[in-house]
Chains A and B, each alone.
Chain A
Amino acid sequence: MTLVEFLQQLINGLSLGSVYALIALGYTMVYGIIGLINFAHCDIYMVGAYIGFFVSTDLHLPFVPTLIVAMLGSAIAGVLVERFAYKPLLRKASSISLLITAMGVSLLLENGFNAVFGGSPRSYPHNILTQKSISLGPVRTDSLHLIILLTSVVLMVLLQIVIYKTKIGKAMRATSADKDAAALMGINVNATISATFAIGSALAGAAGVLVGILYNSIDPYMGIQPGIKAFTAAVFGGIGMIPGAFLGGLILGVIETFVTAWYSPLSGAIGFIVLIVILIIKPSGLLGKKVSEKV
């Protein structure tokens, strides 16, 4: 591998990793606060991509309003899922019942969308965000990958600010530490949990629109594979840790890309072997702390 090829692959890896990171942020946030592995997260991502598709195609909205509408729509979808599917279980049932419910919601969304909108891939309008090739000397990337990387960084910083500097963030951390004690201190736990889902789902919606435009192809099952990878990235970085999700996403993307470049049939396997090795050495993930304090 020449130096140019190495640099190009590094950029490819970071680009792919930024997609994982963007989805992983919402995964890790919901886990950090509620302790629920929200398998429906990757389907909210798909819902966001569809909302973005419809408003940009039928209402001809430009990129930024499309992104905002998709984020709002996904937030509403996320809160609806929480209200109808998770809330009745959150207090009473075991975490395994919640996990199964999350899988059920995931399948319902996938197959429901498949039944209503059909399974054919759809593509965003060509003019919504033009994909420009950007050359940096001999290596190249494109504008969309840079936008996705930038969006992940901005969202990560924003999330950290929301969680550590705002009142709702304080409520989230309190809820995360002890639900009952938080309620005794006058925190509206239900509203806090809903807010967590709303923010996490809005992040997923943003990712859906960006990735939908990047690959120019959305379908009801688009969330499954990136969902698994993003979940892996979140665990990799230390689940519950927001910077960990970002870092985990980028590292997973880079590992996967280099393995693919070395010997493509093993691309799926090696990333996970590395994950297992890291978890054996550091069970709480790259940035995870051993203490039970989350977020």
Chain B
Amino acid sequence: MKKQIAASVLALAMTVSCAGCQGGNSAGGASGGTIKIGFVGPLTGGNSSYGQSSKKGLELLEDQINKAGGINGKKIDLVEVDDEGKPATSVTGGTKLISSDKVVAIVGPVTSGCANSLAPICQANNIPMITGTGTNANITKAGDCIFRTCFIDPFQGKVMAKFASEDLKAKTAAILYNNGDDYSKGLFSAFKANFTGSIVETENYNAGDKDFNAQLTKIAAKKPDVLYLPEYYGDVAVIAREARNMGITATFLGGDGFDSPELFSVGGDSVNGAYFSNHYASDDTSPEVVQFIKDYKAKYNSSPDAFAALTYDAGKVLCDSIKKAGSTDATAIKNALKSYSGTVVCGKISFDNDRNAVKSAVIIKTVDGKETFFKKISA
């Protein structure tokens, strides 16, 4: 009897724990009047804020397109899978989208590590993959099926290094980066190559570390003008707090990984006064941004962050290209994407020969727990 109770409790708990892993529904293999598009992103896990925002952006697009009659008369059907921010899970999820859901193209994955892992799979299956947020330089090198609608890490690192030298007049910089993460390493090397002052200290840590005091003690001893933190918001907030406790007064600089309201809820006052490069600023006044924010607020009653806008853009570029191609054939979609040129939320966009987006970047400053637009830097 006791065993039965134990078994049923376990079974119940397992049902609960599995509820999160079923993405979209996989009913109906053949898509009669619909075009199936896959989405892969971290809907749970440490970077879930990115995945959830991206998903909302994409679902807004789905609503808009379907209300307007779909693509060439066919409605789009979004199939979402959760990669938990883990490369291995993104491969399993992406493979499921390709083989069992039979999607025509995939939007995502949201984070660079996952995009790097899924890209070769999409390439091998001849499924166009378009990431709106995977900024690591290697992603699109997997082949001609892989596109991205955001700028790449070398550009982002360069923008920040130039900004630090020219606008902030920084003479000395220190860098603390994550040794186990493609995104972090990509930004680090680009910043290092482009900063004109001297880099007085370079330290790194392993993914999952929460105690950075050893590295920060060394950095504090060098008293740098700026401290570059190429990392996602969760760890940035922890590092920033420890750095301020350690007496480091340097200005914090970072990349688009800073972009999340949770940066402030965990980091508190220590993350104020930082600058980071981003794809878009919500207080930008261009008509595309204003319209997007209005639509997003109407649907979700909250403000979109850059991930929502970027993934919306990736989806928009893909849907426009499918429309232009006039078919869901992979080669036709690829050709339409290659010649794409248009204006989306984050500005004017086209693709270079490596299928990377050519577009501008913005610098955001954190003031009183809010992100404020500081400067626009063109490509």
Q: Which residues of A are at the interface with B, using a C-beta cutoff of 8 A?
A: 2, 5, 8-9, 12-13, 15-16, 19, 84-85, 88, 108, 111-112, 114-116, 118-121, 123, 126, 131, 133, 140, 142, 211, 215-217, 219, 221, 224-226, 256-258, 260-261, 264-265, 267-268
Contact present for A261 and B84 (CB under 8 Å): no
* CB of B238 within 8 Å of the partner chain: yes
Q: Report B-chain residues with C-beta under 8 Å of the C-beta of A264.
A: 179, 203-205, 214-215
CB neighbours of B268 from chain A (8 A): 126, 216
Q: Across the interface, do A123 and B266 meet the contact criterion of CB distance under 8 Å?
A: yes
In the complex, the answer to whether B215 meets A260 with C-beta atoms within 8 Å is yes
Kindly list chain B residues whose C-beta atoms are within 8 Å of the C-beta of A265.
Answer: 179, 204
Report chain A residues within 8 Å CB of B44: 114-115, 118-119
Please measure, in the bound complex, the distance between the C-alpha atom of A9 and the C-alpha atom of B213, giving whole angstroms.
Answer: 8
Residues A225 and B218 in contact, CB atoms below 8 Å apart: no
Give 4 A-B pairs besides A114-B44, A224-B208 with Cβ atoms closer than 8 angstroms.
Answer: A15-B211, A16-B211, A119-B84, A264-B204
In angstroms, Cα B211 to Cα A211, docked, is: 11
Q: Please report which residues of chain B, range 186-245, place their CB below 8 angstroms from some CB of chain A when the two chains form the complex.
A: 203-206, 208-211, 213-215, 217-218, 221, 234, 237-238, 241, 245
With A and B bound together, what is the CA distance between A69 and B84 in angstroms? 31
Closest 10 CB pairs of A and B: A260-B214, A12-B213, A119-B45, A119-B44, A115-B20, A257-B214, A225-B208, A84-B6, A112-B17, A111-B17
A52 CB → nearest B CB, Å: 16
7 pairs from A and B in contact (CB 8 Å cutoff): A9-B214, A15-B213, A126-B268, A142-B245, A215-B211, A264-B205, A264-B214
Is B168 located at the chain interface by the 8 A CB criterion? Answer: no
Interchain CA distance A115-B45 in the complex, whole Å: 10
- Choose from A84, A85, A108, A219 the contact partner of B14 (Cβ within 8 Å): A108
Known A114-B20, A120-B262, A142-B245: A221·B214 in contact at CB below 8 Å: no
A133 & B245 in contact (Cβ 8 Å cutoff): yes
Contact partner of B13 (CB less than 8 A), chosen from A12, A112, A123, is: A112
**CA–CA, A119 and B85, complex, Å:** 10
Q: Does B265 contact A (CB under 8 A)?
A: yes
A261 CB to closest chain B CB (Å) equals 5
Partner of B6, one of A8, A12, A88, A217: A88
What residues on A are CB-neighbors of B2 within 8 Å?
88
- A62–chain B nearest beta-carbon distance, Å: 19
Chain A contacts for B238, CB-based, 8 A = 215-217
- Interface-central residue, A111, A119, A221, by most chain B CB under 10 Å: A119
Q: Are B247 and A140 in contact (CB under 8 A)?
A: yes
Number of residue pairs across A and B with beta carbons under 8 Å? Answer: 121
Nearest chain B CB to A87 CB, angstrom units:
9
**Given contact pairs A115-B18, A121-B266, A221 touches B46 in the complex (Cβ within 8 A):** yes
Q: Does B30 contact A (CB under 8 A)?
A: no
Judge if B379 is at the interface, Cβ distance under 8 Å: no
Shortest C-beta distance, B216 to chain A (Å), equals 8
Given known pairs A119-B48, A216-B241, the reply for A12 and B206 (CB within 8 Å) is: no
Closest to B84 in A: A119
Whether the pair B206, A267 counts as a contact (CB closer than 8 A) is yes
What is the bound-complex CA distance between A261 and B215, given in angstroms? Answer: 6
Interface residues, chain B, with chain A CB atoms under 8 Å away: 2-3, 5-6, 9-10, 13-14, 16-21, 42, 44-46, 48-49, 84, 179, 203-206, 208-211, 213-215, 217-218, 221, 234, 237-238, 241, 245-247, 262, 265-266, 268
On chain A, the residues within 8 Å of B221 by CB distance are 2, 5
Complex contacts, A219 vs chain B, CB 8 Å = 46, 234
Most B CB within 10 A of own CB, among A8, A225, A260? A260
Contacts of A261 in B (CB 8 A): 214-215, 217-218
Cα distance A15–B217 in the bound complex, in angstroms: 13
Q: Which residue of A lies closest to B204 (CB)?
A: A264
Q: How far is the CB of A88 from chain B (nearest CB, A)?
A: 6
A36 to B111, CA, bound (A): 39
Give CA–CA (A260, B219) in the complex, Å: 12
Report the separation of the CA atoms of residues A256 and B245 in the bound assembly, to the nearest whole angstrom.
20
CB-CB under 8 A from A140, the residues of chain B are 245-247
* Chain A residue with Cβ nearest B179: A265
Residue from B9, B17, B48, B210 within 8 A of A120 (CB atoms): B48
Asked if B214 contacts A216 (CB within 8 A), the reply is no
Q: Are A19 and B214 in contact (CB under 8 A)?
A: no
A119 to B42, CA, bound (A): 9
Asked if B3 and A88 sit within 8 Å, CB to CB, the answer is yes
Alpha-carbon gap, A118 to B19, bound state (A): 12
Q: Report the nearest B residue to A116, measured CB to CB.
A: B16
Output the residue of A88, A111, A116, A261 with the most chain B CB within 10 A.
A111
Hey, which chain B residues are within 8 Å of A15, CB to CB?
A: 211, 213
Measured between C-beta atoms, what is the minimum distance from B334 to chain A in Å? 34
A113 and chain B: residue at smallest CB distance: B17
Chain A nearest CB: distance from B237 CB in Å? 7
Which residue, B21, B42, B49, B209, has most C-beta atoms of chain A within 10 A?
A: B209
Interchain nearest-CB distance for B82 vs A (Å):
9
Distance in angstroms between the alpha carbons of A215 and B236 in the assembled complex: 11
- Distance between Cα atoms of A264 and B203 in the complex (Å): 6
Kindly report which residue of chain A lies nearest to residue B205, judged by CB atoms: A264
Q: Count chain B CB atoms within 10 A of each CB in A116, A120, A123, A226 and give the residue with the most.
A: A120
In the complex, are the beta carbons of B48 and A84 less than 8 A apart? no
Complex contacts, B213 vs chain A, CB 8 Å: 12, 15-16, 257
**When chains A and B are docked, how far (Å) is the Cα of A2 from the Cα of B218?**
11
CB distance from A125 to the nearest CB of B (A): 11
Name the residue in B17, B84, B237, B265 with the highest tally of chain A Cβ atoms < 10 Å from its Cβ. Answer: B17
Q: Which residue of B lies closest to A260 (CB)?
A: B214
Q: Which of A9, A126, A142 contacts B217 (CB 8 A)?
A: A9
